[in-house]
Structure formats: C-alpha cells, structure tokens
Amino acid sequence: MKNGRRLIDHELLIRKHHLNPTQPAPDSLFWKMWNASLAVAQQALATGFIQGIKTGNLDPTIYGAFHISDIYYCDRGAADYGMAAGRTTDPVLQDYLLTKQQSYNEYNSALCATWRLSGPQSVVPTRTALDYSLFETSIAKGAAKQGSVCDPIFALVVMIPCEYLWAWLAAHLAPP
C-alpha cells in the first residue's frame, strides 16, 4: 500500500523550486536528530503492533482502531500544515506546506470513505494522538516555550520525524 500522506507530486516541487533531491549529508541536522532518536524507533519496531503487522497476525480490530485514530491525527496535521503555510513568507516553504496540506486532505477523504465515517470530526482520538496533535498545532501556530514565537519551518521539524519513522518501520518489515 502506498503512503497516502506522501506529497502528491514531490517531483513537481523539486523541479519548480530547483531543490536538491539527494539524501541529506551524513552530518546534517536531519541525521543528527534521527540518530539521537534511533533507540525510540527501535522500540517502536519491537512493539506487538508492528511485529503483528510483520508476521501477519495483528488483530484486525486493533489495526482498524489505529487507522481510525490516524484519521484524527492526519486531519489535525492537514490543518497544521495550512496554519504554518499561512505564517511563512518563504514561497518555497509555503508551496511545500500547502502541498502537504492537500495530500493530507486527500488521504483523510479516502480514509473516511473507506471506514465509512462522516468525517474526521467523528473520530474520538486516543490520548496519545490528541497530545501529539496539540503539540504539533502549537508549533504550527508559532507557539514555543516561555511565550516565544517559532518560525513556521519548525512545523516541519516536528512533523517529519513521524513520517520518516513510518518509512523506516516499513523498510524493516520487508519482505512482507
């Protein structure tokens, strides 16, 4: 199954803004942050949920409940990307954030149709999904600790690790 949350047409954004599509350098901030959290990623990989997916014996009800919770998280994520896009003056960042928002909105619509939900507002989130979403929303709004304001780029800083984690987990589940 393809990642419905991925950018709709990242190649178009790369060409349009002349972005470098190569992987970040080994000493980049991304890899420093990822490597610092690798132990948490490995703990996630070892959970019964992920191992149940890998072995094919995860209870479908548990998987379904997770997917429903993801609808809540992704609805909030779409709004967060839009909020951050509205705060930035950088046209490249704004284009990226709006494209992410659009891809999340399309993913949300597809999931709501699949699970026969009237919309994300009908989902009661888990405490974890709620807390994580509230944190991301505070950053997208520009709120930082002690009342300072953070730049819209930090919306990506707090949201990309989650997206990368899922790709990393999937790579460790292969072959299916």
Cα–Cα separations (whole angstroms), residue 97 to 3, 8, 52, 73: 17, 12, 33, 16
Residues 71/123, Cβ–Cβ less than 8 Å: yes
- Mean pLDDT calculated for residue range 44-64: 94
- State the pLDDT at residue 143: 86
At residue 140, φ and ψ (nearest 5 deg) are -60, -35
pTM as predicted? 0.85
Alpha carbon 30 to chain centroid distance? Answer: 15
pLDDT at 72 (0 to 100): 92
Domain covering 60-170, topology: Heme Oxygenase; Chain A (1.20.910)
Would you call 58 helix, strand, or coil by DSSP?
coil
Quote the percentage of the chain above a pLDDT of 70: 93
Q: Cis before residue 26, ω within 30 degrees of 0?
A: no
All residues at 6 or more sequence positions from 156 whose CB lies less than 8 Å from its CB, including other chains: 84, 93, 96, 97
pLDDT digits (tens, 9 = 90+) for 73-107: 999 999 999 999 999 999 999 999 999 999 899 98
Q: Which residues contact 61 (CB under 8 A, 6 or more apart)?
A: none
DSSP state of 24: P
User: In this predicted structure, what is the pLDDT of residue 48?
Assistant: 95
What does the pLDDT average to over 49-64? Answer: 93
Reduced to 3 states (helix: H, G, I; strand: E, B; else coil), residue 149 is: strand
Q: Map out the domains of the chain as residue ranges.
A: 60-170
- The answer to whether residue 144 scores a pLDDT higher than 80 is no
Helix axes 38-45, 29-36, angle to 10 degrees: 50
* pLDDT score of 175: 74
Model confidence at 1: pLDDT above 50: no
* 154 or 12, which is more confident: 154
Predicted confidence (pLDDT) per residue in 11-53, tens digit = 888 888 888 888 889 999 889 989 999 999 999 999 999 999 9
Query: Per-residue DSSP letters for 121-139?
Result: GG----HHHHHHHHHHHHH
Quick one: pLDDT band at residue 139, thresholds 50, 70, 90?
very high
Give residue 15's pLDDT.
Answer: 86
